[in-house]
A and B are shown apart, each in its own frame.
Chain A
């Protein structure tokens, strides 16, 4: 094939699917954020082992600036960009509809503008307030406005995907929404219900406060608004991984979707139960009545149900694949799974990490166990297994086929991609062990303990063993980052062009259209379920927030870093 025909072939692909290029832009921007954020990660892990690398780094003013950058880039920027690209592209292809490219590109540039704005604020050490934004610590207005724009851009795309599905339904009234599009759309609806708290906090409190328009913010109210968004946001991170686990991975493993209805039900349960649970991040807040904390604690347990549904059905769908490949006996199907395929291996390892992450989540959600671990290293230990592995490693696994699919470049090296996946998984499991263990010994999170004052040296000596384990995990994860980004950039900048036949296709597990009838038809009325979700949020938050809004104590901002 000459270069001329290659160029023509590529032009044809882009013309047929212009959404490929914008998807790639979202993914690459998200992963660029992950690269910077993840490279700071080992410094945090070494900090807990008593090794202070920050003093040798002139570009970061403090551990706390580094930690703010790490959290914002990984948990807010990487996730939002990658997810927006992913659950724009997959439903568009499955519904066979072309997104409004002007709108989607506008959203991308808006998000990038916001990212640069917030990035400048953090890089200049004006906003070392962590990604939880707790006032009265006050960051630069550019930090708050920038991150708000990132959220607004993602909502534009989310609204558009919801609109595309409605158009599709209008054209195909007799059919049920195809499964991947269904899961994606429910995730976007969830995002809309989720972000209300954060948007109110930003627009009515933090932004005018940082601009000097209002003098004070009530910290208890701000925390409550933050956690309205702060808990369900983890499902916005997790559900796109579930989209792949339910809708794509079984195909990669040679299995099949166990139950279409169960899958839809699990997603609807997340829509209903993931938001009215935020107080379980605030069990230690004096300003929230204990009875309401108990209500949220029990609601949180409900979110465990769809996660357990997912654990069993996804495992069963993989078991089918393993048995078709000749696996026998209770566990014999596991080694028969395609472990040599880096995309599958990464996502299967991500699932395993989520077993431990989910189990720890039950502890966090239990009102009476939470006090032992609240704001200790247990918490970052927990969410590095969930968002840091279940989500991040799944997204890495997806890029192993999706980037070649979008760019028609071959995967740089399946072998190195396998190394990246195993190192990430191992490093995070070791990190999780060290951090959970230190947390049980009451070592506080977000603490620059490698730089304790002289008279406090040794105060956490009882946690020396898990602290050292945490430090070791940082080294493992550093190599995982190097391996992964070598694969990613090696793929993006490859000179070789894949032919049409060689290019990986989206591994849809369900290729047939399902008729909209019976239970499926009931589950497909997403707006009905959305109303119930909103009512649950109003019940869970209404009385407490109403009381807080009417009795505000404004506290002026401080910059203490």
Chain B
């Protein structure tokens, strides 16, 4: 009995000790906040990686069906990293393979945890909480780079972009294809056909919308503010949710719209590079709800 009691005490001491010393990877609440609040919170103003001090970084991530924003995170090895994360819609998980990072992303909860990546390499991030039909495709990557490589990368990213010559500068098709592969492909698929009954096709449909009266502005609003409600597309009704992508930059949103309108059955139906960053910036001034975007869709006069 005494031996058993002693063993139990030893067990408890070990657990408490390891949590005290190595427990920072446990996700804890910073504060509560609805998905609508996320855009207003300081830590989500600049999603992704931010240097907060020498060797110290902050990473802000939002989970939304069916991707992490941002999906790719690049960090230097050995840095002390503090994560902030939440969900914009339903439950998601943030599990980094090969580490002790495993946190539930819960709408209403803003979570924080700290971690130091001691080995360079690519770490796979998987959503490990069922979140809907494309849950399996919700993955991300954390690249941990040697310090010199990370510094070079930072320098490259901070270099000023090419001087804006025309409206579409920066909103290139290459960038659009990258944004599409990272954020859109899980639902709308690489061939733009969507998933039958769940996510609508963009192939052909995006060009139809663009051609409608008011469609050009509506497409930007869908990306910035999301869309919710049943929509008929090419003979089938879809009742999913399009999340808001306002955390993407103006260039990225313009680029992905340009990419979609230049791809699949949309190709050749719209002039080249119809959107520029300024078009997106203009639509940001008049914030809408997904319901308002849905109502605007009804005004387009789409024949579907």
Q: Are A449 and B136 in contact (CB under 8 A)?
A: yes
Interface residues of A in 261-311 (CB under 8 A from B): 282-287, 289-290, 293-294, 297-298, 301
Q: Are A290 and B107 in contact (CB under 8 A)?
A: no
Also in contact, A453 and B126, with CB within 8 A (given A64-B133, A298-B12, A368-B19): no
CB distance from B303 to the nearest CB of A (A): 26
Also in contact, A455 and B185, with CB within 8 A (given A283-B26, A284-B93, A375-B93): yes
Q: Are B186 and A442 in contact (CB under 8 A)?
A: no
Q: Are A444 and B106 in contact (CB under 8 A)?
A: no
Also in contact, A447 and B109, with CB within 8 A (given A376-B128, A442-B126): no
Also in contact, A374 and B132, with CB within 8 A (given A220-B109, A285-B27, A559-B239): no
Q: Are B89 and A558 in contact (CB under 8 A)?
A: yes
User: What residues on B are CB-neighbors of A561 within 8 Å?
Assistant: 132-133, 198
Select which of A298, A441, A445, A560 is within 8 A of B132 by beta carbon.
A560
User: What residues on A are CB-neighbors of B29 within 8 Å?
Assistant: 286-287
A452 to B15, CA, bound (A): 38
Q: Are A371 and B25 in contact (CB under 8 A)?
A: yes
Which residue on A lies nearest to B27, using beta carbons? Answer: A286
Q: Does B28 contact A (CB under 8 A)?
A: yes
User: What residues on B are CB-neighbors of A219 within 8 Å?
Assistant: 90-91, 106-109
Which residue on A lies nearest to B182, using beta carbons? Answer: A455
Also in contact, A442 and B15, with CB within 8 A (given A371-B100, A448-B136): no
Q: Are A286 and B109 in contact (CB under 8 A)?
A: yes
Q: Does A372 contact B (CB under 8 A)?
A: yes
A447 to B109, CA, bound (A): 24
Interface centre among A62, A289, A443, A453, by most chain B C-beta atoms within 10 angstroms, is A453
Q: Are A286 and B103 in contact (CB under 8 A)?
A: yes
Q: Are A454 and B137 in contact (CB under 8 A)?
A: no
User: What residues on B are CB-neighbors of A453 within 8 Å?
Assistant: 134, 137, 185-186, 189-190
Which residue on B lies nearest to A377, using beta carbons? Answer: B128
CB distance from B240 to the nearest CB of A (A): 6
Q: Are B108 and A555 in contact (CB under 8 A)?
A: yes
Which residue on A lies nearest to B127, using beta carbons? Answer: A444
Q: Does B297 contact A (CB under 8 A)?
A: no
Also in contact, A136 and B124, with CB within 8 A (given A61-B197, A286-B28): no
CB distance from B4 to the nearest CB of A (A): 10
Residue interface bits B92-105, CB-to-A below 8 A is 1, else 0: 01011110111110
A256 to B97, CA, bound (A): 49
Residue interface bits A346-374, CB-to-B below 8 A is 1, else 0: 00000000000000000000111001101
A113 to B88, CA, bound (A): 37
A559 to B90, CA, bound (A): 10
Q: Are B135 and A218 in contact (CB under 8 A)?
A: no
Q: Are B241 and A375 in contact (CB under 8 A)?
A: no
Interface residues of B in 238-254 (CB under 8 A from A): 239-241
Q: Does B282 contact A (CB under 8 A)?
A: no
User: What residues on B are CB-neighbors of A249 within 8 Å?
Assistant: none
Also in contact, A444 and B124, with CB within 8 A (given A136-B107, A298-B12): no
Q: Does A334 contact B (CB under 8 A)?
A: no
Select which of A137, A283, A375, A553 is within 8 A of B128 by beta carbon.
A375
Also in contact, A220 and B181, with CB within 8 A (given A284-B27, A442-B97, A452-B136): no
Which residue on A lies nearest to B89, using beta carbons? Answer: A558
A284 to B83, CA, bound (A): 14
A237 to B89, CA, bound (A): 33
Q: How many residues of A contact B (CB 8 A)?
A: 55
Q: Does B111 contact A (CB under 8 A)?
A: yes
Q: Are B136 and A447 in contact (CB under 8 A)?
A: yes
Q: Are B139 and A456 in contact (CB under 8 A)?
A: yes
CB distance from B298 to the nearest CB of A (A): 21
Which residue on B lies nearest to A301, using beta carbons? Answer: B11
Q: Does A5 contact B (CB under 8 A)?
A: no
CB distance from A546 to the nearest CB of B (A): 16
Q: Does A2 contact B (CB under 8 A)?
A: no
Q: Does B213 contact A (CB under 8 A)?
A: no
Q: Are A375 and B95 in contact (CB under 8 A)?
A: yes
User: What residues on B are CB-neighbors of A447 within 8 Å?
Assistant: 126, 128, 130, 135-136
Q: Are A368 and B22 in contact (CB under 8 A)?
A: yes
A453 to B108, CA, bound (A): 29
A62 to B105, CA, bound (A): 24
Also in contact, A294 and B197, with CB within 8 A (given A136-B89, A286-B111, A560-B65): no
User: What residues on B are CB-neighbors of A558 within 8 Å?
Assistant: 65, 89-90, 132, 241
CB distance from A31 to the nearest CB of B (A): 27
Q: Are B32 and A553 in contact (CB under 8 A)?
A: yes
Q: Does B34 contact A (CB under 8 A)?
A: yes
A558 to B90, CA, bound (A): 7
Also in contact, A454 and B136, with CB within 8 A (given A368-B19, A442-B124, A560-B90): no
Q: Does B255 contact A (CB under 8 A)?
A: no
A290 to B113, CA, bound (A): 12
User: What residues on B are CB-neighbors of A448 within 8 Å?
Assistant: 135-136
Also in contact, A444 and B133, with CB within 8 A (given A286-B109, A287-B29, A290-B28): no
A453 to B139, CA, bound (A): 11
Interface centre among B16, B25, B106, B110, by most chain A C-beta atoms within 10 angstroms, is B106
Q: Which 9 A-B pairs have the closest CB atoms?
A: A560-B132, A286-B111, A442-B97, A553-B108, A375-B128, A444-B128, A447-B136, A446-B130, A371-B102
| Beyond A218-B108, A371-B100, 19 extra complex contacts between A and B, CB < 8 Å | A223-B91, A284-B93, A285-B27, A287-B106, A287-B109, A294-B15, A298-B15, A367-B19, A368-B18, A445-B128, A446-B135, A453-B134, A456-B139, A558-B90, A558-B132, A559-B239, A559-B240, A560-B198, A561-B198
Q: What are 16 sample pairs from A and B whose C-beta atoms fall under 8 A apart?
A: A62-B133, A134-B129, A219-B108, A286-B28, A286-B110, A368-B19, A376-B95, A444-B95, A447-B130, A448-B136, A453-B134, A459-B139, A553-B32, A553-B34, A559-B239, A560-B89
Residues of B within 8 A of A (CB): 8, 11-12, 15-16, 18-19, 22-23, 25-30, 32-35, 65, 89-91, 93, 95-98, 100-104, 106-112, 124, 126-137, 139, 181, 185-186, 189-190, 197-198, 239-241
Residues of A within 8 A of B (CB): 61-62, 64, 130, 134, 136-137, 218-220, 223, 282-287, 289-290, 293-294, 297-298, 301, 366-368, 371-372, 374-376, 441-449, 451-456, 459, 551, 553, 555, 558-561
